[in-house]
Structure 1
Amino acid sequence: MQIDVKHIAGPGLVVLDIAAADEDTLRAVMEGLQRQRATSGIAPVRRLPGEPGVRARVYADVHRPGPSD
């Protein structure tokens, strides 16, 4: 999966590819990131044929805080 340059066009913008053993763990990580920083939210979970676990891609702005709890 290619990274679109618009998602990293400025300082503080990042693309995070996350891999986990299961969907619950993956969603917990995405929810934690969303609470701490401005992110693209809970991303669709992907399974890659022949590879263990699940994956997701999240876009984040490290300069902007996430929503407060």
Structure 2
Amino acid sequence: MPGVVLYMDPINETYVSWPGLVVVDIATADDATAFAFQQLLADRWTTAPALHAMRDAGEPGVRLRCFLDLRQPLDS
């Protein structure tokens, strides 16, 4: 089944190698909620967004991971 994963990849040291870099794992009931929350983060900070949500086999809901750089806030 496409999009089914048994686990989320561990956080790599590269993701958080400098102060201000953040890994955000989002778990929600549905894709729309996950992407809406990701968009709220992207509206505030420089973000490397997830392109698709993952489903854990046999588990309810979806997960996605995005990366934020809090050192570079977007202009209002």
Shared fold per TM-score greater than 0.5: yes
1:8 aligns with 2:23: no
Structure with the largest fraction of helix: 1
Name the stretch that deviates more: 11-20 or 40-49.
40-49
Q: Which structure 1 residue ranges, 5 or more long, are not aligned? A: none
Looking at structure 1, the residues matched to 54 and 74 of structure 2 have their Cα atoms a distance apart, in angstroms, of 24
**Aligned ranges 1:28-43 → 2 under 5 Å:** 28-43=36-51
Deviation at 1:67, TM superposition (A): 6.1
Question: Helix, strand or coil for the counterpart of 1:64?
Answer: strand
TM-score normalised by structure 2 residue count: 0.80
Instruction: Note the alpha carbon deviations across 1:8-61, whole angstroms, 9 max, x for none.
Output: 000011111000101111110011110101110243210001111000001111
Question: Helix, strand or coil for the counterpart of 1:44?
Answer: coil
CA radius of gyration, larger in: 2
Name the stretch that deviates more: 38-47 or 53-62.
38-47
**Partner amino acid, structure 1, of 2:30:** D
TM-score normalised by structure 1 residue count: 0.88
